[in-house]
Chains A and B, each alone.
Chain A
């Protein structure tokens, strides 16, 4: 072998090695696995352990903080109650032009929906819900729960008069029910009835023959099976009057039913009835509903149902800013009902006032504390914290005792002669009361961050300023104060955010003019039960806080906030 070939060979070998390395690509660990994967594996264990450590808190936060907030956000737009309670009506109203009362088919749909809702006792809930949007609906709904049967009864009576068999449950079962279900149901009735009742099943094909009747009967059967303390069986119960209304409408050709195609049980009876319905005495459904509650033949109830038939609505949010959704679009509510914007504004203004007072009162105290020897300042700090250890209720009530017209402060002022006995100051149950009591309660939240920031400002800065020729005031204002601004920022954020969500204190000392938006939220949560509106108000409050936070970040810079 010549030298040249040997050279070539070794060169080739080197190249091969290089190629080898290039192909393997990633760096390998000692055991030959890619280094990256080994590292990931090592890190994964660490990450899992870290996760396990924070998991309890994470779960706790998810359950108690994130979930409620999401639920609140959802509730503020959720509106499924209308389409769930009146599904047929909502469909029938789709495309209604709202110029005149709806047609018969819509009234029939309402009759079926309403009967089922009344049996399930959920009609009043919907009534309350819609009452938020248009007053008076609640009472219409409540009254209709009792009177809805009146709409169908004339037909039930006439069918019974035609053939008494129509009153028999068995007639209906034979017509409607699946034979298998009938035997299962019979077995169940005979047995101890401790197993779940077999759910009603329709016989195949009947829906084509009698569409509305089938729908109404199924609604009847399912409803009686699932409501009431002791479930009832369709085998032994005469259908609701509204089912007869449906039968009449099917047989009279109003719904496009095809009776001629039917040849099942009771076909002749059905045919007889079909021939007879033309001679039935009829009342327009509109008039029948007028008997139930005259609200049903006026426009508002229908426009309201149509407006709020969507499963999601902006209605709560609009209401939260004193607007309302009408068929004509978004409008302001009447003057005497506008309260929320005022409340939001008041909450903001009073919170800012309280925040400002806290700065004015807290700054000198924090300054004093941070310049005292450690032992003294620690003791005085306990005094600052003392309010934290007293019940909020006690402190607030104490202000009531102090501030009321026959209270300590007024007595003192009268005694000194500063105010006349007949001109005692009103300092409670108004904004003054709220501001005074809340400033007192929130003051520690201002003092603590201020103190902890001031504690970190070395005295040498002020000394340097003075040695450079600054007077006490200049040294404070130009050198000390700018460095305490992060503390002011932190304190302000704390106090302001706590304050706009405050509830107990304004409730106790705020009277009518000193309450905050949170008091209204609480009212809707626990008294009016309008949770949707409460959620919308809460969401707006949350958004306001976030916007203010963002603004603060833009203007002051959030990294300029120091809690210690």
Chain B
């Protein structure tokens, strides 16, 4: 896909803009391939992608620690390629926090203010305000080593915000924390970002984090943006099989397009069975395709489907009781990892391994993607 990702029409001005940016470290392979990306003022944009997909590199180019091999990066409509990092005024939060170990928390926070030659009393006031903002007001005198991981990350956040930058970059800031702390901090970061009205470019490889925090998510793979959309669109309407696989849980079946209609197609699976799907990136009868269906959109009750809908035979391999949901693993069309999630409700059957059932879905939930 050749991504030209502009802003959704209803958002404000472009604040950051990547224009045909390429990056190569070794002169042989491109780590970032032709990146075009506009980020709006006040937007919370997440770069999501597997490790090595070039997310950090993009962030470092924006921060000024790497230079683009080709293309331009604009900040507030000004090209920043020739502005040194310390003049860009971009706040940054690192995964390892990068709090200066020889300074106290308060000294860490006042560092960006000192280098900006801000007077002492104003500095102290701002440091105090920033510490209060992350609920760490009592910790000014401590050394970073005397804080827990979550506390350190809060301080790092406060330090990136204390000099009131308009743009803040965060590179996997919560990667080293445990799940519960991550969820708390995710919430706090989004709340703070919206309250302060800053633009945030957030990097993560955790899709839940991306979905819950962001206004828009850019899914990276292989140095390209595979899809850039709001979280719900991304989840419900993946544009290719990579995005479908990467975001959330997903069942895929392979086959060829058998019939092609305007907004519907019929796919003949490899074992000969037929199913309905929405054509996304298939164009003609005979194209190979991967159809993708979310586990929670699979219907096991035939009565709820349209009368002429195609159904598939399935054999129950495993039934897992997970409290709020049931998770059933099926053998479908020769695939053994077909998962169905059903709500734990009185009308839902608890299936036993070996049972044979029929499954189906509403055609709009199933997307025929690239093979």
On A, residues with C-beta under 8 Å from B are 458, 460-461, 463-472, 474-475, 478-479, 482-483
Contacts and interface: CB of A to CB of B under 8 A. Distances in A.
Given A463-B65, A483-B101, A483-B102, A470 B86 contact: yes
A152 B256 CA distance: 133
16 contacts: A458-B98, A460-B96, A463-B63, A463-B92, A464-B94, A465-B111, A466-B84, A467-B63, A468-B91, A468-B111, A468-B159, A469-B86, A469-B112, A469-B115, A474-B115, A479-B100
A466 B98 contact: no
Contacts of B102: 482-483
Contact of B92 (A458, A464, A475): A464
Interface string B210-241: 00000000000000000000000000000000
Contacts of A466: 64-65, 84-86
Which 3 A-B pairs give the minimum distances between C-beta atoms? A468-B112, A464-B98, A467-B92
Given A474-B115, A483-B102, A468 B65 contact: no
B91 A467 contact: yes
A199 to B, nearest CB: 75
B187 to A, nearest CB: 24
B90 interface: yes
B321 to A, nearest CB: 44
Contacts of B92: 463-464, 467-468
Contacts of B84: 466
Contacts of B101: 483
A475 B65 CA distance: 14
Main secondary structure of the interface of A (DSSP, over half): helix
Nearest to A458: B96
B79 interface: no
Interface string B154-170: 00000110010000010
A472 B115 CA distance: 12
A463 to B, nearest CB: 6
A462 to B, nearest CB: 9
Nearest to B99: A464
Given A468-B159, A470-B86, 18 more contacts: A458-B96, A458-B98, A461-B98, A463-B65, A463-B94, A463-B98, A464-B92, A464-B98, A466-B65, A466-B86, A467-B86, A467-B169, A469-B87, A469-B89, A469-B112, A470-B115, A472-B86, A483-B102
B82 to A, nearest CB: 15
B116 interface: yes
A475 B64 CA distance: 15
Contact of A460 (B88, B91, B98): B98
A105 to B, nearest CB: 76
A461 B98 CA distance: 5
Contacts of A465: 100, 111
A185 B103 CA distance: 88
Contacts of B65: 463, 466
Nearest to A478: B111
Contacts of B98: 458, 460-461, 463-464
A465 to B, nearest CB: 7
A537 to B, nearest CB: 40
A479 B159 CA distance: 15
A350 B181 CA distance: 56
A507 B56 CA distance: 57
Contacts of B87: 469
A468 B87 CA distance: 9
Nearest to A475: B86
Contacts of A469: 86-87, 89, 112, 115-116, 163
A489 to B, nearest CB: 13
A472 B101 CA distance: 19
Contacts of A475: 86
A458 B89 CA distance: 22
A464 B85 CA distance: 10
A467 B85 CA distance: 6
Contacts of A483: 101-102
Interface string B30-46: 00000000000000000
